[in-house]
Amino acid sequence: MQIVSLSMATAKRKKASKKDFILRRAAAMFSEKGYSATSMRDLADAVGIEAASLYNHIQSKAEILQEIIFRMTNDCNVHIGELEKGKLSNIKKVESLIRFHVQMMMYQCDDYTVMINEWMHLPEPYLTNFNIQRRQYVVKMEKIITDGFQQGEMKNIAPYVAVLTLLSSVRGLEFWHRSSQKISPQKIEDDMVNFLIKGLKKN
Amino acid sequence: MQIVSLSMATAKRKKASKKDFILRRAAAMFSEKGYSATSMRDLADAVGIEAASLYNHIQSKAEILQEIIFRMTNDCNVHIGELEKGKLSNIKKVESLIRFHVQMMMYQCDDYTVMINEWMHLPEPYLTNFNIQRRQYVVKMEKIITDGFQQGEMKNIAPYVAVLTLLSSVRGLEFWHRSSQKISPQKIEDDMVNFLIKGLKKN
DNA sequence: CCTACCGATCGGTAGG
DNA sequence: CCTACCGATCGGTAGG
């Protein structure tokens, strides 16, 4: 009984790690060529198996996209949830959000890029789910900026514009990631925070 | 002779305007679903003809993408060329660049979005050509920011980070464009300029 | 501008 | 995990 459940756990772990490997390769290819331009045969080649064998680990091409994207949205929701519970000043909350997104773009570049560039290929009902989550996330960010203005920490900039700008700025790092990277991740992160926070902070 | 050349000119103009119509529809669809996920049959439906008939106006699917993208890169090059010849302060040059990109995103949204999101589907040698042009454009922007620092107008922010941030910020407006647009184009443009220029300006 | 059609490739399944 | 294969759809051409 013990041995059975142990070997089942092992089998499950092995299978999960092979699936993880497929998801990682898929994220890299979706990020580089796009979801639609990546075929299951391309992906199978990158994984080192036949296309048909992929279906022992995943159910469909769309499922791969879903898993990549909703793993990311989950991380984002966890982070902003902790911010909401925490006691940072609003300006520090914005700084934390910028650093969080910059770090995702630098250390989970493929997954993050797939989320921002390929979400429209999610099949329903996942597409609607994603759009709702993104909308909620934006509203939460807007609230932080509105609070920051009302509490005298920030300038009176339209929260909607600020949030769109903050979120999209990070996308530029895609090119940094593909380039020779003469600037260190830490310096990029600090420069970006300094640059963006200056547009918000009072004084 | 006169009549012949006149009717040829008319025929040419008519053909050009039908091709323009196809390009506009294509830009809208490439922008919404991506280049790879848009089939020539989808496009033909949107234009109102059979798929085969498209080929009387264009040579290939890739040619459509090329025309959309290189029309935009040409506009960008013309604008920054005029800036280089002009006598604006460096900070005013940056402001002009921001306004130019915001306006492209607001008034030529489909073409601009296709350029930033679908360039990787250009076939060679166009892909290399595009990458070279983008690199040159970034270098020109970096020079303006470096000059601005040396002449005491701007803070000492890494030009590379500033340029990546400025260029990618505009991409957020994609969501504004798709939404109910409660904020006027002029206010969006001004807010964005204020927000981004604050991160650069000294004082 | 259409009908008819091409070979290639797509996501995915059956069966072992 | 593989071989063999499915119907659907792809970009594009021939011929009128």
Answer with the residue of higher pLDDT: A27 or B184.
Answer: A27
Residue type, B119: W
Å from the B52 CA to the C5 C1': 11
If you ran DSSP here, which 8-state letter would residue B53 be given?
G
B98 and B71 co-located in one domain: yes
Euclidean distance between CA atoms A37 and A8, whole angstroms: 37
Please spell the DSSP secondary structure of B118-164, one letter per residue.
HGGGPPTTHHHHHHHHHHHHHHHHHHHHHHHHHTTSB----HHHHHH
CATH number, domain at A23?
A: 1.10.10.60
Picking from A202, A93, A95, A195, the residue whose alpha carbon sits closest to that of residue A153 is: A202
A118 and A176 co-located in one domain: yes
A23 and A97 co-located in one domain: no
What is the residue range of B42's domain? 1-58
Domain boundary among B31, B58, B85: B58
**pLDDT by residue (tens digit) across A84-104?**
999 999 999 999 999 999 999
- Which residues of B lie inside 8 Å of A (Cβ-Cβ)? 32-37, 117, 120-121, 157-158, 160-165, 167-173, 175-176, 183, 187-188, 191-192, 194-200
Domain count, chain A: 2
B196 and B148 co-located in one domain: yes
Q: Which of helix, strand or coil describes residue B199?
A: coil
A31 and A102 co-located in one domain: no
A118 and A69 co-located in one domain: yes
Residue type, A33: K
A5 and A74 co-located in one domain: no
| CB contacts, 8 Å: A170 with chain B | 168
- pLDDT at B7 > cutoff 70: no
Euclidean distance between CA atoms B75 and B73, whole angstroms: 5
Domain boundary among A58, A85, A105: A58
For residue B198, the distance in angstroms to the closest alpha carbon of chain A comes to: 5
B27 and B118 co-located in one domain: no
A50 and A67 co-located in one domain: no
CATH number, domain at A147?
A: 1.10.357.10
Q: Which of helix, strand or coil describes residue B38?
A: coil
Tell me what pLDDT residue B50 has.
96
B76 and B159 co-located in one domain: yes
Identify whether the C-beta of residue B202 lies closer than 8 Å to the C-beta of residue B154: yes
Inter-chain touch A162–B37, beta carbons under 8 Å: no
Residues near B164 by Cβ (< 8 Å), separated by ≥ 6? A172, A173, A175, A176
Please spell the DSSP secondary structure of A129-196, one letter per residue.
HHHHHHHHHHHHHHHHHHHHHHTTSB----HHHHHHHHHHHGGGHHHHHHS---S-HHHHHHHHHHHH
B92 and B167 co-located in one domain: yes
- pLDDT at A5 > cutoff 50: no
B50 and B143 co-located in one domain: no
Q: What percent of chain A has pLDDT over 90?
A: 81
**pLDDT by residue (tens digit) across A69-82?**
999 999 999 999 99
Euclidean distance between CA atoms A182 and B60, whole angstroms: 39
Inter-chain touch A167–B172, beta carbons under 8 Å: yes
Picking from B19, B20, B16, B9, the residue whose alpha carbon sits closest to that of residue B55 is: B19
